[in-house]
Amino acid sequence: MPMLFADRFLLLRPLSDALYGPVGLYEDAQCSNEPVAIKQVSLARAVAALRLNPNMDNPWSEHRVVSRLMALPSHANIVRFRDEFLHAQDTWCVVMEFCPGGDLWNLLEHAPRNRLPEVMAQQLFLQCVRGVQFLHAHGIAHRDLSLENVFYCRGVCKIGDFGLSTDAPLRGKGEVVGKAYYMAPEVVNQEKYDAFAADMWSLGIMLFIMLTGSPLTSNASRDNKAFLAFCELGVAKVIDSWGLSDRISPTTVGLLGKLLRLNPVERPTAEELLELTEFMTIK
C-alpha cells in the first residue's frame, strides 16, 4: 500500500508559487530523507485557467511528458523526475530532484553587467543543447525553453518545467506559447509551426542573452521596430551596433546566425547543433 503524503514527505521550506499551486522543498522518507522538490498542481485551478486560455501550461500534457521521461534513462541535463501521483483527489504532485543553485537567469543577474564570458556561456550552452537533443531524440519538444527554465546545480545545467511540452508528432497548431522574447517568429505570428525548429530559435535567444545580457527584442513580431532592424541587418551587425563584437568571436556569432534564421527550415536540428557546439567548445 502506498505511503500517505504526510507520512512520506516532510516540508522543509516553500520554494515558490507556481501557476496552479506551490512548489516546496521536502525530505522523502522513501529515499533516506533525500531533499526533493515537489510541485503541487490543483487540477480544478488548471481546468478553470485553460478554459480562459487554452495556451496556458497544461498539466495533462506535462503528465504525459513526465511519464515518458521517467520511463527513459536519466540524462545529466534534464531534471530527474522521481515520482508523480494524485493527492487528495484533485492535486497532481510531481516529485523531482532539487537543484539548489537556482536557474541560469539567476546566474546572469549576479554576473558583471548581467552577461557571461564567452567560454563560460559556450560551456553552459553546450549542456543545454545536450539536454534538448535528448528530448528531441525521444519525440519531445519543450516549447518553453528559457534561461528561467534551466536550473543550475553545482556547475550542471538541467532543463525543467515541461508544462508547455508536446509530443513531436503534434506539431504546433498556431498556439502562442512560451515567454515572449524567446518565442520564434512563426510562433508569435500564430502560424502552424514545427515545435522542434521553434526550440532551436529559443536556444539561440538563450545564448544571445548569456553573451549580451539582454534579449534580442521584446518579441519577434513584424510590428516590433527592433525585430525589423534585426531582420534587415542580421545578428552580427546587431552585436556590432551594441559594441560587443570584440567580446564575441565570429564563430559564436555565426552559430547565433544559424539558430536565428527567420525560415525555420534553415535552422539546424538539435543533432546538428550538438555537433556544431561540441566542436566549438573543444579546446
Catalytic residues: 144
CA distance 65 to 20: 18
* Residue with cell string 521521461: 69
CA distance 199 to 123: 19
Residue of 104, 209, 91 whose CA lies nearest to 160: 104
Phi, psi angles (nearest 5°) of residue 130: -60, -40
What DSSP designation does 91 have?
E
Judge whether 166 and 178 are in contact, CB under 8 Å.
no
Judge whether 131 and 137 are in contact, CB under 8 Å.
no
Judge whether 17 and 23 are in contact, CB under 8 Å.
yes
Residue of 188, 183, 144 whose CA lies nearest to 164: 144
CA distance 53 to 32: 41
